[in-house]
Amino acid sequence: MYENEINRRRTFAIISHPDAGKTTLTEKLLLFGGAIHVAGAVKSNKIKKTATSDWMEIEKQRGISVATSVMGFEYRDFKINILDTPGHQDFAEDTFRTLTAVDSVIIVVDSAKGVEAQTRKLMQVCTMRKTPVMIFVNKMDREGKNPFDLLDELEAELGIKVRPLSWPINSGIKFKGVYNIYQDKLNLYTPNKQKVSETIAVDIHSADFDNMVGEDDAEQLRNDIELIDGVYDPFDVKDYLAADVAPVFFGSALNTFGVKELLDCFVDIAPAPLPVDAVERTVDPHEEPFTGFVFKIHANMDPNHRSCIAFVKICSGKFERNVNYKHMRLGKQFRFSAPTAFMAQKKETVDEAFAGDIIGLPDTGNFKIGDTLTSGENLHFKGLPSFSPEMFKYIENADPMKTKQLQKGIDQLMGEGVAQVFTHQNNNRKIIGTVGQLQFEVIEYRLLHEYGAQCRWEPMSLFKACWIESDDPAELENFKRRKFQYMAKDKDDRDVFLAESGYLLQMAQSDFPKIRFHFTSEF
Ligand code: G4P
């Protein structure tokens, strides 16, 4: 029905460890799409340079990040949607959820630093979801690691086979360019932050080539390419789409170098919108009726405007403005008069959008993360797992007059996915679980400013919270009875075991072999 529209969409996220060059690469991709005209136009939404305590600065930066949460642009015949992910690791959960809304991922790695912690963690989510990934090794204009060593490191650290599709000619001050293995073309390096250098078709065995890059480097490249062909299997798009192989490109985002090679190959081979699993069935993007799910809620931090934006990934069909859609969890019809699409860095009201697109729906508290919208069918999209948090605190009411407000605030913030809440079975106290200290500050600040509630934190020592299940109901009951003082419920009333230490978790696992312990809420 909307075949052409849907097939030309490429919806993806760029992920990296902070500072590897994600913002710079995003900006250069927009530059190629003509979505912006000068470099430096994309404001970084990173919070990395801010001390944890500098909360107002974070506020300001969050303001910027709404606009850059999704950036759409046209390139060749394709409609590209880049989903931004927060750089700060304390918001890693946000990034995990964003990854459920993309069809593929580009990973940026700093050539000198190689694979870093955050990248490793995010790659695990891609592996779990079998998301196709491409890798861009950035900052080749600096002295970095040997590219062959880097490829080995990528394979070992990211747990995926790699296949170079471009290859650097030297690096650092001697960096001369990249050879495009994918297209058999040469791109000579002229450092330039604004312009794109010309690509030349050249036979690397010709004398011309030696003249261009110098004999030594020409010889080196020929040897390297021979080695690559000997060591790595020929590239097969099917393996990439099956998430078995990651194509690797080299370049310098800052100097707009090697970026076009990446982008051209990306639009050629990256998947168009893929089918999405719902509890009831798998939904094909080409089905005519509209379906979608909320993967992110962006609250307006200004207390005078309590509205939020719910980000919806369209899974199938066409979304239209002012048409009634069913909100599954509430069982109610909603129509949206001002849905927004994201083009470059602008939000604008749209009349229609297609599978693969992301739309923003202004909301006053009706949406929670994971909510499904449909044209009428009863469907619940899966795949928005919560991950076992890493830090835990009891949350207490610091103002007895505001109990209701506190309760409402906690409910809504958890619905937005700011953090996770568990209720201790032993004493009914509420525990907030986060991946970083910053989230506690976000919660405290927002409870006060948006709900007029005051909270107090009490430390607790907890190693992990894990979801448990068993095929043997009697054994599950037995476990819950024996471990009563360590049991909690999550927001959906599921059983969670609170392990105080790695040792106690191991003990529980070996004492109760029939119980399965899960570190994500979906299993
Ligand atoms: P991030 O979003 O992944 O955190 O990284 P970002 O793009 O902000 O890049 C981090 C730093 O690395 C920036 O420098 C950026 O200019 C630099 N950078 C990005 N790509 C390249 C490259 O190809 N070569 C070199 N040499 N540097 C690169 P900064 O000093 O932290 O910020 P800025 O003041 O330059 O914006």
Taking only the tens place, the pLDDT of each residue in 279-306 is 999 999 999 999 999 998 877 655 555 6
Q: Could you tell me the CA-to-CA distances from 280 to 254, 283, 330, 379, 404 in Å, in that order?
A: 46, 9, 18, 6, 36
Predicted local distance difference test score (pLDDT) of residue 214: 87
Q: Does the domain formed by 391-518 have CATH 3.30.70.3280?
A: yes
Predicted local distance difference test score (pLDDT) of residue 53: 42
Is there an atom of ligand 1 within 6 Å of 259 CB? Answer: no
Predicted local distance difference test score (pLDDT) of residue 38: 56
209 or 359: which leads in pLDDT: 359
Predicted local distance difference test score (pLDDT) of residue 23: 86
Is there an atom of ligand 1 within 6 Å of 19 CB? Answer: yes
pTM of the model: 0.83
Residue 285 carries which side chain, given as an amino acid letter?
Answer: P
* Mean pLDDT in residue range 472-481: 95
| Nearest CA owner, ligand 1 atom 15 | 21
Q: Could you tell me the CA-to-CA distances from 195 to 28, 251, 256 in Å, in that order?
A: 10, 14, 7
| Nearest CA owner, ligand 1 atom 26 | 139
pLDDT tops 60 at residue 54: no
In contact, 373 and 119? CB cutoff 8 Å: no
Q: What is the distance in A from the centroid of ligand 1 to the CA of 19?
A: 6
Mean pLDDT score of the chain? 86
Q: Which atom of ligand 1 is nearest to the CA of 257?
A: 23
CA distance 194 to 197: 10
Is there an atom of ligand 1 within 6 Å of 27 CB? Answer: no
Give me the CATH topology for the region 3-269.
Rossmann fold (3.40.50)
Please enumerate in sequence order all residues whose Cβ is within 8 A of that of 83, keeping only pairs 6 or more positions apart, or say none.
Answer: 11, 12, 13, 69, 70, 98, 101, 102, 358
| Nearest CA owner, ligand 1 atom 11 | 19
Q: What is the distance in A from the centroid of ligand 1 to the CA of 65?
A: 18
pLDDT tops 50 at residue 140: yes
Q: Which atom of ligand 1 is nearest to the CA of 255?
A: 23
Q: Phi and psi dihedrals of 255, rounded to 5?
A: -95, 15
Predicted local distance difference test score (pLDDT) of residue 437: 81
Predicted local distance difference test score (pLDDT) of residue 52: 39
Q: Phi and psi dihedrals of 478, rounded to 5?
A: -60, -45
38 or 157: which leads in pLDDT: 157
Q: Phi and psi dihedrals of 70, rounded to 5?
A: -135, 130
Where are the CATH 3.40.50.300 domain residues in the chain? 3-269, 276-374
Is there an atom of ligand 1 within 6 Å of 483 CB? Answer: no
Is there an atom of ligand 1 within 6 Å of 118 CB? Answer: no
In the CATH scheme, what architecture does the domain 276-374 have? 3-Layer(aba) Sandwich (3.40)
Q: What is the distance in A from the centroid of ligand 1 to the CA of 21?
A: 5
Q: What is the distance in A from the centroid of ligand 1 to the CA of 195?
A: 17
Q: What is the distance in A from the centroid of ligand 1 to the CA of 94?
A: 22
153-181 burial, b at 16+ Cβ within 10 Å, e below that, comes to bbeeebebebbbbbbbbbbeeebbbbbbb
Is there an atom of ligand 1 within 6 Å of 44 CB? Answer: yes
Predicted local distance difference test score (pLDDT) of residue 50: 41
Is there an atom of ligand 1 within 6 Å of 21 CB? Answer: yes
Please enumerate in sequence order all residues whose Cβ is within 8 A of that of 285, keeping only pairs 6 or more positions apart, or say none.
Answer: 6, 272, 273, 274, 275, 276, 315, 316, 317, 355, 356
450 or 163: which leads in pLDDT: 163
Q: What is the distance in A from the centroid of ligand 1 to the CA of 98?
A: 23
Q: What secondary structure does DSSP assign to 226-243, as a single string?
A: HHHHHHSPPP-HHHHHTT
Predicted local distance difference test score (pLDDT) of residue 257: 84
Q: Which atom of ligand 1 is nearest to the CA of 16?
A: 3
* Mean pLDDT in residue range 255-268: 90
Predicted local distance difference test score (pLDDT) of residue 473: 94
Q: What is the distance in A from the centroid of ligand 1 to the CA of 505?
A: 41
Predicted local distance difference test score (pLDDT) of residue 191: 56
* Mean pLDDT in residue range 447-451: 87
Q: What is the distance in A from the centroid of ligand 1 to the CA of 325?
A: 43
* Mean pLDDT in residue range 430-448: 87
Q: What is the distance in A from the centroid of ligand 1 to the CA of 90?
A: 21
pLDDT tops 80 at residue 367: yes
Closest CA to 499 of 466, 468, 467: 466
| Nearest CA owner, ligand 1 atom 14 | 19
Is there an atom of ligand 1 within 6 Å of 18 CB? Answer: yes
Q: Which atom of ligand 1 is nearest to the CA of 26?
A: 7
Q: With pLDDT > 70 as the criterion, what percentage of the chain qualifies?
A: 87
pLDDT tops 90 at residue 456: yes
Q: What is the distance in A from the centroid of ligand 1 to the CA of 296?
A: 27
| Nearest CA owner, ligand 1 atom 31 | 19
Is there an atom of ligand 1 within 6 Å of 86 CB? Answer: no
In contact, 110 and 381? CB cutoff 8 Å: no
**How many CB atoms sit inside 10 A of residue 89's CB?**
17
Is there an atom of ligand 1 within 6 Å of 26 CB? Answer: no
CA distance 29 to 47: 22
Where are the CATH 3.30.70.3280 domain residues in the chain? 391-518
Q: What is the distance in A from the centroid of ligand 1 to the CA of 184?
A: 29
Predicted local distance difference test score (pLDDT) of residue 165: 94
pLDDT tops 90 at residue 196: no
* Mean pLDDT in residue range 123-141: 93
Q: What is the distance in A from the centroid of ligand 1 to the CA of 363?
A: 35
